Amino acid sequence: MSTMTHDVVDTAVANGHFTSLVSAIKAADLAATLKGAGPFTVFAPNDDAFKKLPSGALEGLLKDKVKLAALLTHHVVAGKVMAKDVKTGDVKSVAGNMLAMKSVDGHVTVGGAKVTKADIECSNGVIHVIDTVLMTK
């Protein structure tokens, strides 16, 4: 299956390592938005990243749609940013918060999270897999 024919949500579903993220996107009613035209750059925490959260944190977020949506949109940047184009500095997330981006010798971090797999191209953007959920203040 070519990811270029699938939007970011369908690509995440097909990947199989984003069940927590996909559940959260659906619970926050963001699926339709992220299936939209975009383009979006999604820093997608995998299931292992969600397991690092304190016990009960994800369950609590799933019950608070406003906080959940704010957290999820903190992981999204408008436009399609490929790993090779990342510059060290701050970039504004869709939530309006600033994300600290770093690129050193081809290794990218965002908000302190490591990009473990970059440049999963989708029909409406790109997904970069990260190893930590980016918490908002």
CATH code: domain of residue 124: 2.30.180.10
User: Do the beta carbons of residue 9 and residue 35 sit within 8 Å?
Assistant: yes
Residue 135 lies in a domain: no
Chain centroid to CA 65: 17
- Tally the domains of the chain: 1
In degrees rounded to 5, what are phi and psi of residue 62? -65, -20
- Omega of the bond leading into 45 within 30 degrees of 0 (cis): no
Residue 136 lies in a domain: no
Residue 31 lies in a domain: yes
Residue 137 lies in a domain: no
Residue 106 lies in a domain: yes
- Expressed as residue numbers, the domain containing 52 is 3-130
Specify the pTM.
0.92
Residue 17 lies in a domain: yes
Q: What is the pLDDT of residues 16-65, one digit of tens each?
A: 999 999 999 999 999 999 999 989 999 999 999 999 999 988 899 899 99
Neighbour count for residue 80 (Cβ, 10 Å): 16
Quick check: helix, strand or coil at residue 50? helix
Residue 74 lies in a domain: yes
